[in-house]
């Protein structure tokens, strides 16, 4: 057992009353009347969760919907993937992209790379090399170096091997956490290693909102499915429409939930209809 591991993995949860979005459509429609800044997670939101990261390919119908939505709304993709990776996967021009949980942001008239991420880069390279060497004999482990951040995926790891993986992970990453160089968050079957600075999806969406909509005329809408999206839900809780992709209500900072990727598509269709009916 890793001493203090879970206390050192940063997680944020607040229990609020979560509503099924389509049951509250009237209030959502009123909130979006001024227009919307639509901010979307990628994995688990635009594509179903899959066994390996490279298999999460945007379906043709989802890509077509996103393109239609982008004609009516300001659109941004906020992902834990690398900036290059998420751009390639979505493939739409003229929208905003935030990679590595917001450490890299790019879009029309916007380019941001957090300098802290560049300074921590040599440490992340070292961590990834050591993790690959020490986790190489645990079948199903995927160590992903994403530039500004890194991930260890264990969805394919046998349940009986998880404790060993966690112990090795703590052995390698723990000293860098203790020194204050990196911090770790825990997503769906993944450990995320990031520079230890106050910057996450929440800070990223607030920054992007201030740049894209400096007068605050648009209602921010954020849709995500994972623990890393809780930072964005919390940041926008008092000023936007926050939506968790989940089969049912659960502990979250999001105000609403929808059940799956198909319902994300249904939400997009409703957004488009709001504009075409004007």
Region 87-99 average pLDDT: 96
Domain harbouring 37, CATH code: 3.40.50.1000
- Would the pLDDT of 7 be above 50? no
Least confident piece of the model among 3-17, 19-33, 124-138: 3-17
- Would the pLDDT of 4 be above 90? no
Residue 103 structure tokens: 């450490």
Q: 104 and 216 share a domain? A: yes
CA distance 198 to 214: 22
Residue 178 structure tokens: 């203790």
Task: Note down the domain range covering 191.
Answer: 115-195
Is 6 within a domain? Answer: no
Q: 205 and 94 share a domain? A: yes
CA-to-CA dists, residue 171 to 132, 154, 191, 221, angstroms: 13, 17, 14, 39
Q: How many domains does the chain have?
A: 2
Q: 156 and 218 share a domain? A: no
Of 9 and 1, more confident: 9
pLDDT value of residue 14:
52
Q: What is the pLDDT of residues 156-203, one digit of tens each?
A: 999 999 999 999 999 999 999 999 999 999 888 999 999 999 899 999
Determine what percent of the chain is predicted with pLDDT higher than 90.
81
- Would the pLDDT of 269 be above 90? yes
Q: 35 and 135 share a domain? A: no
Q: Which residues are catalytic?
A: 41
Region 93-99 average pLDDT: 96
Q: What is the pLDDT of residues 249-262, one digit of tens each?
A: 888 999 999 999 99
pLDDT value of residue 187:
86
CA distance 232 to 201: 5
Q: 23 and 87 share a domain? A: yes
Total count of residues recorded for the chain: 278
Long-range contacts of 5-12 (CB under 8 A, 24+ apart): 5/166, 5/170, 8/174, 8/177, 8/184, 9/184, 9/185, 9/186, 9/191, 10/183, 10/184, 10/185, 11/185, 11/186, 11/227, 11/230, 12/230, 12/231, 12/234, 12/253
Is 5 within a domain? Answer: no
- How many Cα atoms are found within 13 Å in the side-chain-facing hemisphere of 250? 13
Residue ending a domain, among 195, 228, 256, is: 195
Least confident piece of the model among 107-121, 135-149, 218-232, 255-269: 107-121
Is 37 within a domain? Answer: yes
Q: What share of the chain is helix, strand, coil (3-state, %, to 5)?
A: 45, 25, 35
Q: What is the pLDDT of residues 219-258, one digit of tens each?
A: 999 999 998 899 999 999 889 999 999 998 888 999 999 9
Is 4 within a domain? Answer: no
Q: 19 and 107 share a domain? A: yes
- Would the pLDDT of 54 be above 50? yes
Q: 34 and 90 share a domain? A: yes
């Amino acid at each position: 057992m890793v001493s203090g591991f879970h206390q050192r993995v940063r997680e944020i949860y607040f229990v609020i009353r979560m509503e099924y979005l389509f049951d509250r459509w009237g209030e959502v429609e009123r909130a979006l009347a001024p227009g919307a800044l639509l901010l979307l997670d990628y994995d688990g939101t635009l594509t179903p969760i899959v066994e390996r990261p490279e298999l999460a390919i945007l379906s043709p119908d989802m890509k077509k919907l996103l393109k239609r939505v982008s004609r009516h709304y300001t659109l941004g993709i906020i992902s834990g993937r690398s900036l290059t990776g998420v751009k390639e996967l979505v493939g739409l021009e003229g929208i905003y992209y935030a990679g590595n949980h917001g450490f890299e942001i790019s879009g029309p008239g916007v380019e941001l790379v957090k300098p802290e991420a560049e300074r921590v880069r040599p440490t992340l390279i070292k961590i990834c090399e050591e993790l690959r060497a020490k986790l190489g004999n645990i079948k199903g482990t995927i160590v992903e170096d994403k530039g500004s951040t890194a991930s260890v995926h264990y969805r394919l790891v046998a349940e009986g091997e998880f404790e060993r993986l966690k112990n090795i992970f703590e052995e390698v990453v723990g000293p860098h956490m203790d020194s204050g160089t990196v911090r770790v968050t825990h997503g769906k079957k993944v450990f995320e290693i990031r520079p230890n600075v106050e910057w996450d999806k929440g800070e990223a969406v607030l920054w992007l909102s201030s740049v894209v909509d400096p007068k605050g005329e648009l209602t921010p809408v954020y849709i995500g499915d994972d623990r890393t999206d809780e930072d964005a839900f919390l940041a926008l809780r008092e000023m936007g429409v926050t939506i968790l992709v989940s089969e049912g209500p659960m502990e979250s900072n999001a105000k609403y939930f929808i059940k799956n990727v198909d319902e994300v598509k249904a939400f997009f269709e409703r957004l488009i209809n709001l504009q075409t009916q004007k």
